Amino acid sequence: MSTQTPAPGARDQVARLLTLVPFLHHRDQVRLADAAELLGTTPAQVLGDLKVLFMCGLPGGLPDDLIDVDLDAIESDSGPVSDGVIRIDNADYLARPLRLSPTEASAVTVALHSLRDVSPLDTQAIIDRVLAKLESAAATAAADRRIAVDPRSGEVALVALADALQRAADDGRQVRLTYHVPARDELSERVVDPRGVVPHGRFHYLDAWCHTAGGERLFRLDRITEASVLDTTIATDPQPPREVTEGLLSGETPVGGTVATLLLRPQADWVPHYYPMQEVRPLPDGSVEADLPVADPRWLVRLLLRLAPHASVVAPRQFSESFSATAQETLALYR
């Protein structure tokens, strides 16, 4: 009985990414040439790896879920720039300790036992140590069903922040926030009138009137680096917090954004049920045309790459051209 092994190219790329991502995450910026030297490869190869990395992240596929790579800083029209600087963002969860559910731990344990049977002796010794730690942790978890919160993960701080912001909203007090804006990679300070803390998926958001922006805004709690409850009362009329699906994902055209018209074939007919659309128009062959508000064109390209070949852009043209160029570059990585 033969066993299939991954192609050397794919296996080597995974190994490089597993080395590269933690290295980048703990440094503000790294030159492309230095990263290539660390990995024992070429700048062009590292650039190819990074074009795969920006489609990786947590499940969901929304902009908040995927690792953001600033490709413009390391690539020119003629190819990779060796002294270009690699910057990644939205990868804070990589610094958190790995926490497995009982089901995940069981799956990893079974896989490791299978891997051990076909591994050389030196690899078996490593696997045995990992198995011992996993099985010990599983035994401890079985004896204690309480959910432990690790302070190093930041979860305790987020719970305390959510409680403080909700109390400020209940008391009608303004809050001064220092907020990280990933799209611009900068910290902004603003005074807001809080309305309340609302959950959506894995994250919690503060719904507030922002006096800096002059409008309603939703702030993701794990991107608030500092918050101070002020003595001043709110300057706007008290209102209950909006549901996130009515604010952040309302289907309204975002400020500075646009609307993309997508052609979705039957295999992708689930998309309008998952993402907020302005309008959905069924077609005779079972496909649909859907108008999707887009704040960041890069997010749309990532979505289309996951849906390919069952989705395409009808309008505007620049989205179609951008997707086609990225798709060709992605296909070239597999040749």
Contact indicator for 289, 283 with CB cutoff of 8 Å: yes
Q: Where are the domains of the chain?
A: 8-95, 102-143, 152-247, 258-332
Q: Which residues contact 249 (CB under 8 A, 6 or more apart)?
A: 200, 275, 276
Q: Write down the pLDDT at residue 257.
A: 56
Q: What pLDDT, in 10s, does the model give residues 215-253?
A: 888 888 888 888 888 989 999 998 888 776 544 444 444
User: Phi and psi for 64 in degrees, rounded to 5?
Assistant: -70, -15
- DSSP for residue 44: H
Q: What is the pLDDT of residue 308?
A: 83
DSSP 199-219: EETTEEEEEEEETTTTEEEEE
pLDDT of residue 85: 79
Place of tokens 């413009």: 72
pLDDT at position 92, please?
Answer: 63
Identify the residue with better confidence: 203 or 172: 172
- Return d(Cα 183, Cα 58) in angstroms, integer: 18
Residues 6+ apart with CB under 8 A from 199: 205, 244
Q: In the chain, which ranges are continuous DSSP H helix?
A: 8-25, 32-39, 43-53, 102-117, 121-143, 155-171, 244-247, 271-274, 297-307, 317-332
Q: What CATH class has 152-247?
A: mainly beta
CA-to-CA separations, 179 to 68, 128, 198, 213, 266, in angstroms, rounded: 18, 44, 17, 13, 41
Q: Is the pLDDT of residue 126 over 80?
A: yes
Token digits of residue 109: 């344990």
Cα dist. 305→51, 61, 146, 251, 311 in Å?
12, 11, 41, 21, 9
**Of residues 215, 219, 224, the one with CA closest to residue 207:** 219
Classified as helix, coil or strand, 282 is strand
CATH classification (class only), 258-332:
alpha beta
Predicted pLDDT at 205: 87
Q: What is the Cα–Cα distance from 21 to 93, expressed in whole angstroms?
A: 12
Please classify residue 335 by burial: count the beta carbons closer than 10 Å to its beta carbon, then call 0-12 exposed, 13-18 middle and 19+ buried: exposed
CA distance 187 to 309: 38
CA-nearest of 270, 251, 165, 253 to 207 is: 165
Alpha-carbon gap, residue 180 to 89, rounded angstroms: 11
pTM above 0.75, yes or no: no
What share of the chain has pLDDT > 70, as a percent? 69
More confident residue, 260 or 181: 260
- Eight-state DSSP code of residue 154: T
- The string of pLDDT tens digits covering residues 77-107 is 555 565 677 877 766 655 555 566 555 666 6
Give 136-194 pLDDT, tens digit per residue. 766 555 443 332 333 334 566 777 788 889 989 999 999 999 887 654 557 888 999 99
SS3 label, residue 187: strand
pLDDT of residue 49: 83
Q: Which residue has the tokens 């079985």?
A: 142
Measured between alpha carbons, how far is 36 from 34 in angstroms, rounded to an integer? 5
Check if the beta carbon of residue 47 is closer than 8 Å to that of residue 80.
yes
The per-residue pLDDT for range 39-83, each reduced to its tens digit, is 888 888 888 888 887 677 666 556 566 777 777 767 655 555 656
